[in-house]
């Protein structure tokens, strides 16, 4: 038989539904998830020579056998084997889609954000522990422990217990913001998972998050220069933006907003859409962006929203108005000093702006941001 490549995206998309089948057959979540991971490894080995007619059925059969093999109690094993023996070897499996419940379980409120992200990528995303560890730049053993603890934490949660959509969306947004490292592009993976969630649940905030991801991701190619340095939104080459993703994001957002159930992610997406819609930085509709930040501030207590609003006010109403808005905020906020430097530069106080840029360097959270701020300070000091 001719050798064919394995569609790893297909494998990952089938993972949650296969786990759901095993759980409904009597496996606990942790054991089911382990068995499915073993089945995925087996699929990568076997499918190139023997591609199955029914990929999901194949995975269910192999994962169930892996689960049975791992069961210690011979009595329990025989009982479960009686169940699987009554099923066709690669016949049709239940059409019940447990994807949504698996999202809720992996984003359970009892988990820390980092544990919820790791468990979501493993159980819903179908990624291996090694891939997740590489993406988060931690040793594989450390990530394995994190995932094991997470599985133990949710082991007593009923699979059909109602979940919180907002928690699931926060977890997916955390995945998206990690960007790229290792051999897994987490931004792309987050978009894939959010698309998958959108097919399982009709919710305007799910659509809002998907639109937001698409609009942000559309600008990815223009965000960094050839030397890896950051390129500000105003200086980005807009011809490098992905217009297809922008069009899709805007279309999804418009449908969501039409339902008149505004949420945090829809408001953020609306702001991103206004940036994407401007042919040039100078043509950005800053007054409308300020209005959307006002709406967003009503929906969330996140002080970063107020910080970004101060920048928008500075663009719409002048630097002094932006500084007045900034003065109402806690100076310990991340990026507060950098925003102050930018607004003072816009206001013409280059000496103070240069000093603030230097102060902001020490507070920056990553090398790219520190490099950018250092260059801003050097530019002003040279002038």
- Give the span between the Cα atoms of 32 and 53, in whole angstroms: 23
Listed residues 250, 275, 300: the one ending a domain: 300
Predicted confidence at residue 89, as pLDDT, reads 43
- Which residues in the chain belong to E strands, given as ranges? 180-181, 184-185
Joined together, the tokens standing for residue 114 give: 């980092």
In this prediction, residue 136 has a pLDDT band, given cuts at 50, 70 and 90, of confident
Mean pLDDT of the 221-249 span:
93
Q: Is residue 145 part of a domain?
A: no
Q: How many percent of the chain have pLDDT more than 70? A: 89
Q: Is the pLDDT of residue 336 over 90?
A: yes
Q: Between the ranges 6-15, 302-311, 364-373, where is the mean pLDDT highest?
A: 302-311
Predicted confidence at residue 93, as pLDDT, reads 47
Predicted confidence at residue 350, as pLDDT, reads 95
Mean pLDDT of the 321-340 span:
95
Tens of pLDDT, residue by residue over 73-100, are 545 545 555 554 444 444 444 444 567 8
Mean pLDDT of the 338-367 span:
94
In this prediction, residue 204 has a pLDDT band, given cuts at 50, 70 and 90, of very high
Q: Is residue 240 part of a domain?
A: yes
Q: Is residue 216 part of a domain?
A: yes
Tens of pLDDT, residue by residue over 168-180, are 999 999 889 876 6
Listed residues 42, 57, 85: the one ending a domain: 85
| Range of weakest confidence among 4-13, 63-72, 320-329, 374-383 | 4-13
Predicted confidence at residue 101, as pLDDT, reads 84
Tens of pLDDT, residue by residue over 302-311, are 899 999 999 9
Domain count, the chain: 2
- Give the span between the Cα atoms of 28 and 159, in whole angstroms: 9
Listed residues 300, 330, 359: the one ending a domain: 300
Going by C-alpha positions, the residue among 103, 93, 119 that lies closest to residue 200 is: 103
Is 121 within 8 Å of 127 (Cβ atoms)?
yes
Predicted confidence at residue 278, as pLDDT, reads 95
Q: Is residue 48 part of a domain?
A: yes
In angstroms and rounded to an integer, the radius of gyration of the C-alpha atoms of the chain is 24
Mean pLDDT of the 104-112 span:
88
Tens of pLDDT, residue by residue over 237-252, are 999 999 999 999 999 9
Range of the domain at 271: 202-300
| Range of weakest confidence among 98-102, 236-240, 252-256, 260-264 | 98-102
Q: Is residue 127 part of a domain?
A: no
Q: Is residue 357 part of a domain?
A: no
- DSSP codes joined into one string, 253-316: HHHHHTT----HHHHHHHHHHHHHH-SSGGG--HHHHHHHHHHHHHH---HHHHHHHHHHHHHH
Q: Is residue 124 part of a domain?
A: no
Q: How many percent of the chain have pLDDT more than 90? A: 59
Check residues 79 and 38 and name the one with the higher pLDDT: 38
Check residues 110 and 71 and name the one with the higher pLDDT: 110
Mean pLDDT over the full length of the chain: 88
Q: Is residue 315 part of a domain?
A: no
């Amino acid at each position: 038989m001719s050798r064919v490549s394995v569609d790893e995206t297909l494998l990952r998309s089938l993972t949650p539904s296969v786990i759901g089948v095993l759980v409904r057959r009597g496996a606990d979540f942790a054991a089911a998830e382990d068995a499915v991971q073993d089945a995925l490894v087996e699929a990568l080995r076997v499918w190139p020579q023997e591609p199955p007619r029914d990929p999901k059925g194949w995975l269910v059969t192999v994962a169930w056998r892996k689960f049975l093999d791992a069961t210690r109690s011979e009595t329990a094993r025989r009982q479960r084997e009686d169940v699987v023996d009554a099923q066709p070897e690669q016949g049709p499996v239940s059409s019940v889609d447990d994807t949504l419940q698996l999202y809720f379980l992996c984003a359970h409120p009892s988990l820390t954000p980092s544990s919820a992200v790791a468990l979501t990528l493993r159980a819903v995303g179908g990624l291996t522990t090694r891939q997740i560890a590489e993406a988060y730049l931690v040793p594989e053993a450390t990530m394995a422990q994190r995932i094991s603890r997470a599985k133990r934490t949710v082991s007593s949660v009923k699979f059909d217990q109602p979940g919180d959509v907002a928690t699931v969306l926060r977890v997916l947004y955390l995945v998206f913001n990690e960007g790229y490292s290792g051999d897994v592009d987490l931004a792309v993976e987050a978009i894939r998972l959010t698309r998958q969630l959108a097919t399982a649940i009709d919710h305007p905030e799910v659509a809002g998050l998907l639109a937001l991801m698409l609009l942000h991701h559309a600008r990815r190619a223009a965000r960094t220069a050839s030397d890896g340095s950051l390129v500000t939104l105003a200086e980005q080459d807009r011809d490098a933006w992905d217009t297809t993703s922008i069009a899709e994001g805007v279309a999804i957002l418009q449908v969501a907003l039409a339902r008149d159930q505004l949420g945090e992610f829809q408001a953020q997406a609306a702001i991103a859409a206004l940036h994407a819609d401007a042919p040039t930085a100078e043509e950005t509709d800053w007054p409308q962006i300020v209005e959307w930040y006002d709406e967003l501030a009503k929906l969330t207590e996140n002080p970063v929203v107020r910080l970004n609003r101060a920048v928008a006010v500075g663009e719409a109403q002048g630097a002094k108005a932006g500084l007045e808005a900034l003065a109402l905020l806690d100076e310990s906020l991340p990026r507060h000093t950098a925003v102050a430097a930018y607004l003072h530069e816009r206001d013409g106080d280059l000496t103070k702006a240069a000093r603030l840029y230097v102060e902001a360097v020490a507070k920056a959270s990553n090398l790219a941001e520190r490099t950018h701020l250092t260059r801003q300070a050097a530019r002003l000091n040279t002038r």
